[in-house]
Amino acid sequence: MYKVLFTSDYEIHGSGMGSPAELIVEPTTRMLDQFDRYGAKLTIMADAGEIAKFKEYSEQHGRDRFFWNDIKAQLERAASTGHDVQLHLHSSYSNATWNDAKGYWEQDYAEYDLASLSYERLSELIRKGKALLEDTLRPKVPGYECFAFRAANWSMHPSPNIVRALLDNGIRIDTSVWKFGRYDDLVKFDYTYAHSDLVPWPVDPSDVCKRDPEGKLFEFPIYTERAPIWVFVTPNRVYRVIAQRLNPLPNPDAVADPMAGGGGGAGGGSLPKKLAKKMSMLWRQHPWKMDFNQCTGRQLIDGLKRVEQKYGHPPEPLPFVLIGHSKTFTRHNERSLRPFLEFVSAHPDRFSWGTFGDFDVERYRRAPAVAA
């Protein structure tokens, strides 16, 4: 049996631009409504960094400019109707201020790369984020617990400080890793050799990519394959690229590590070398996350079938973790997702819907090591 876990990062644009009503509340309402029709479950990965600022602004100014009350009501709806709410954290918002003239939140880019922060700072941020969600939801949902986490920009590497900080604050599950993923830019991580593309594992405290049978934190990876670049060309993905270009970071140089030549992403070198690198993308395989915003419904179906062929049907349920973002859940995306929802619903003997709370993580400690 495979449990399909829809996880949605609940946030505005990374630039600090955009209305929470348009990028968070409205699309998530459509998402919840659609999932309810199929019995599917949504796990909202609520960015506590942003939400804390929206709440703070409302309390300080007596004006709910950033829709804190709508966000609160939506999280209550999700947590009380069989969906789930867990912790996502953009640390650069902790010291952010609203710039009314420019129309965006000015973030603290020194704290942009989450995993690079000290243990003390990470522990403080995680503790505050967890408390925000639990204090918000427990009056409406008394049994609610925040126990799962996704790092901003998937920043869980280097791991020792963040793994320790998560465990010390009662977080038992992380879902940031996507096998084969690698960034060397505004954030830096390398998940090329992550233990598995699908099967959860107890984490080595020194490296989230490694399995340690004694580890206390469990990694539930976002399912990822390698694929040629043309597989990435879908209407939803083109929309996201355009949205990112229209909402760039106000000052990306402020984030870049000066020792990495301006962040390491663009890189240096001559024009021929740059062109050769771009051309090589055409025949190389690239990490392809199961992103329900950017993949078509048919691609998600085919991906789930390949998982079934690869892993069979082991006695313990396995999570098929999908990632999405509220800000890119368009009307077209809603329509394109329908075939996948229908497919999973039509095969209850093979698939079901789930949230992280459905899993006994200790079963994965006893399971033999499986590396994809």
Facing residues of 45 across strands?
9, 86
| Residue (of 342, 277, 351) closest to 317 by Cα position | 351
**Token pair belonging to 32:** 């919840």
CA distance 49 to 47: 5
**Which position has the token pair 């004006």?**
63
The rounded radius of gyration (Å) of the Cα atoms in the chain is 20
CA distance 20 to 41: 22
Summarised one tens digit per residue, pLDDT across range 115-149 is: 999 999 999 999 999 999 999 999 999 999 999 99
Cis peptide before 158 (omega within 30 of 0): yes
**Residues contacting 365, CB < 8 A, separation 6+:** 202, 213, 215
φ and ψ at 203, to 5 degrees?
A: -85, 140
| pLDDT tops 60 at residue 268 | no
Q: In this structure, which CATH number among 3.40.250.10, 3.20.20.370, 3.40.50.880, 3.10.450.50 belongs to the domain 2-366?
A: 3.20.20.370
Q: Domain locations in the chain?
A: 2-366
Summarised one tens digit per residue, pLDDT across range 318-366 is: 999 999 999 999 999 999 999 999 999 999 999 999 999 999 999 998 7
Asked if 126 and 165 touch (Cβ cutoff 8 Å), the reply is yes
pTM exceeds 0.75 for this model = yes
| pLDDT tops 60 at residue 291 | yes
Mean pLDDT of the chain: 90
CA distance 67 to 228: 41
| Residue (of 46, 89, 95, 104) closest to 246 by Cα position | 104
User: DSSP secondary-structure letter at 13?
Assistant: -
